[in-house]
Amino acid sequence: MNFPRRRFLQMATSAVALPAVSRIAVAESYPGRPVRIVVGSAAGDLTDIVGRVMAQWLSEHLAQPFVIEDRAGAGSNLGTEMVIRSPADGYTLLMVAASAAINATLYENLKFNFMRDIAPIASVVRQPQIVVVHPSVEATTVPGLIAYAKANPNKLSFASPGVGTAPHLAGELFKMMSGINMTHVPYHGAAAALNDLLSGQVQVMITAAARELVRDGKLRALAVTSAQRSEHVPGIAAVAEFLPGFESNAWFGVGAPKDTPVEAVNLLNKVINRGLADQNIRTRFSEMGGDIIQGTPADFGQLIADETEKWARVVKFSGAKV
């Protein structure tokens, strides 16, 4: 990583005190016109859905339209670069997803440094994934899956929506921490991967999109990937119970170009956190299997730094390349 972690966290925690008159001016004038929130994925993607929930809340409580703009491409890097190149005035924001932490190492020739060029505003929600297997796999627990893989080398294949995606690297993290080998089979999207998992052409997948398939008995859930058990998948163990320290979540937050006025950042953080305490929003995210993650800009900066370091190790272990 070219940009030091300590410097990034210092930037995230620095609430540099502007003169009182300046602070009052920013507080009174922002936002004075519509704000766009760039999503680096397609409409209907989970990042887009989370962004629209928050955009509606911000629009209602800051008296200006907050408009979602989907800019899919290059694993979300296209949208990220667009925001980074925008004026640091608080009128262009970014829906940040876990892919940003992965891409920092996965892509070798990025034209930006995420930890240097993005100001964290607020974390929003995290969503655990589920380790699922085809019913033909004998294992019913994580230790059983590990034992099966070791007794049957090269027999298991795990599917993902593509190289470098969160489910792919969650599988690589599982391999790294358990010492097993599974063959990675990348697909073009989660739907295609799940179809082949349902047919038994691949045997394992780590995904957030399988709750209904598990409920219907079409796939078997072995564990959730959150640090602890999840109320959204009751009765299912956490991988960390068997592999201490294992954690892999989809997570989302809001960022802005570096040097965005701290008053704008703090105002947005305050209003977003107020939204995350609203019961309607909490219910909406709970229905999606998500857990609210409230905090300061510094808290979100810490999450980004920690995740970037973790996934850098996994990318290097797996040799993943796009």
Mean pLDDT of 237-259: 97
Q: Which CATH superfamily is domain 5-127+250-318 in?
A: Bordetella uptake gene, domain 1 (3.40.190.150)
Which residues of the chain are in CATH 3.40.190.10 domains? 130-241
Listed residue (150, 164, 207) closest to 315, CA to CA: 164
C-alpha separations of 14 from 68, 80, 98, 320 in Å: 28, 22, 23, 35
| pTM reported for the whole predicted model | 0.88
CATH entry, 130-241, from 1.10.3720.10, 3.40.190.10, 3.40.50.620, 3.50.50.60: 3.40.190.10
User: 164-203: per-residue pLDDT in tens?
Assistant: 999 999 999 999 999 999 999 999 989 999 999 999 999 9
Task: Please say whether the dihedral angle defined by the alpha carbons of residues 196, 202, 203 and 204, taken in this order, is positive or negative.
Answer: negative
For residues 106 and 186, the answer to whether their CB atoms sit within 8 Å is no
User: 256-310: per-residue pLDDT in tens?
Assistant: 999 999 999 999 999 999 999 999 999 999 999 999 999 999 999 999 999 999 9
Which residues of the chain are in CATH 3.40.190.150 domains? 5-127+250-318
User: Token match 């936002």: residue?
Assistant: 31
- pLDDT confidence bin for 233, thresholds 50/70/90: confident
> How much is the mean pLDDT over the chain?
92
User: Token match 């598990």: residue?
Assistant: 214
